[in-house]
C-alpha cells in the first residue's frame, strides 16, 4: 500500500484507538461508553418485559434500537430532533441498521417474549458513529443478557455470536479503515460493514460519494473491513472479561 496521507497519520489499515467502558451509567441493564477515537457513543441496553404487537403471543422476543445525537456532538450545533418533532431520515436509517445488526446474532425464541431495547446516543461525533454504536451496543446487550442468565430468567444463551461494525472508504485513492470525520467528508467511497465474530457478513452498505467504484476496489475495502472487525471483536471480548 502507498504512504499514508491520512489526516490522523494513521496507516490505511489502522483503527483509531478504541475503548469500551462498561457500566458507564447505573440504571440500565447494560451501559457502555464506546470510543472510536473522538467519536463517543453511550449505548444502553434495557430489558423490557413486553414485545411489539407483531411478536405478541409468538413466544419470541425482540431486539430493537434507537439512535440519537446530542445537538452539540458535532462541529456546529444541529437542531434537537425532539424539538423539531421528528427524527431525520438519517437517524431512522441508522437505528434500523443497528436493530437489524443486533437481531442477526440473537435467537429470538431463546430470548422469550421480552425486548432488548438499545439506545445509542452520540455524545461526541468524529465520523463512524453508527459503527461505534453497533460495536458498543453489542457489549451492552451482552451485559443485559448476562443478567437474565445470572438471575436464571433464561437458561440458555440467546446470543449466538459477536457482532461488530466498521467503516471503510477510498480516501485520496487509497482504501482506508475506520474513517474519521476529516476523511469521511472528503472521501470518494464510503462503506459500512457489519460482521459476526465468525466472519459472516451481516450487512454491507457501500456508497459512491463521488466517482463510481469498481469490483476490485470493493474487494479491497471488504478485506480491510474484515480485519478491522476481527480486531473489534477481540476488543469486545477483552472488555467483557474485565
- Residue 187: other Cβ atoms inside 10 A: 22
Q: How far apart are CA 142 and CA 125, in angstroms?
A: 24
Q: Which is nearer to its own copies, 5 or 227 (CB)?
A: 227
Q: What are phi and psi of 119, to 5 degrees?
A: -120, 120
Contact residues toward its own copies (CB under 8 A) are 25-28, 31, 38, 40, 42, 44, 46, 48, 66, 68, 70-75, 77, 80-87, 89-93, 95-96, 100, 104, 117, 119, 121, 123-125, 191, 195-196, 198, 200-208, 211-215, 218, 222, 226
Residue 128, annotated as binding a ligand: yes
CB of 3 to its own copies, least distance (A): 26
Residue 130, annotated as binding a ligand: yes
CB of 156 to its own copies, least distance (A): 19
Q: Which is nearer to its own copies, 81 or 113 (CB)?
A: 81
Cβ 33 vs Cβ 120: under 8 Å? no
Q: Give 158's Cβ-side CA count (13 Å radius).
A: 31
Q: How far apart are CA 194 and CA 97, in angstroms?
A: 9
CB of 108 to its own copies, least distance (A): 12
DSSP string, 101-114: HHHTTB-HHHH-S-
Q: Which residues are annotated as a binding site?
A: 90, 128-130
Amino acid at each position: 500500500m502507498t504512504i499514508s496521507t491520512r489526516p490522523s497519520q494513521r496507516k490505511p489499515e489502522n483503527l483509531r484507538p478504541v475503548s469500551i467502558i462498561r457500566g458507564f451509567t447505573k440504571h440500565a441493564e447494560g451501559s457502555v461508553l464506546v470510543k472510536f477515537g473522538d467519536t463517543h457513543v453511550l449505548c444502553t441496553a434495557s430489558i423490557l418485559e413486553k414485545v411489539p404487537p407483531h411478536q405478541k403471543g409468538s413466544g419470541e422476543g425482540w431486539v430493537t434500537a434507537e439512535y440519537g445525537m446530542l445537538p452539540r456532538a458535532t462541529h456546529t450545533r444541529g437542531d434537537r430532533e425532539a424539538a423539531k418533532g421528528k427524527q431525520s431520515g438519517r437517524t431512522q436509517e441508522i437505528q434500523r441498521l443497528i436493530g437489524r445488526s443486533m437481531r442477526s446474532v440473537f435467537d429470538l425464541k431463546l430470548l422469550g417474549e421480552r425486548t432488548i431495547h438499545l439506545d445509542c446516543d452520540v455524545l461526541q461525533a468524529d465520523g463512524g458513529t453508527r459503527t461505534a454504536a453497533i460495536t458498543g451496543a453489542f457489549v451492552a446487550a451482552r451485559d443485559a443478557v448476562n443478567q437474565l442468565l445470572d438471575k436464571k430468567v433464561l437458561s440458555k444463551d440467546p446470543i449466538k455470536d459477536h457482532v461488530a461494525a466498521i467503516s471503510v472508504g477510498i480516501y485520496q485513492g487509497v482504501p482506508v479503515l475506520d474513517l474519521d470525520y476529516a476523511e469521511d467528508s472528503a472521501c470518494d467511497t464510503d462503506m459500512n460493514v457489519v460482521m459476526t465474530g465468525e466472519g459472516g457478513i451481516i450487512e454491507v452498505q457501500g456508497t459512491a460519494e463521488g466517482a463510481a467504484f469498481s469490483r476490485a476496489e470493493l474487494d479491497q475495502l471488504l478485506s480491510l473491513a474484515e480485519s478491522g472487525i476481527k480486531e473489534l471483536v477481540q476488543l469486545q471480548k477483552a472488555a467483557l472479561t474485565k
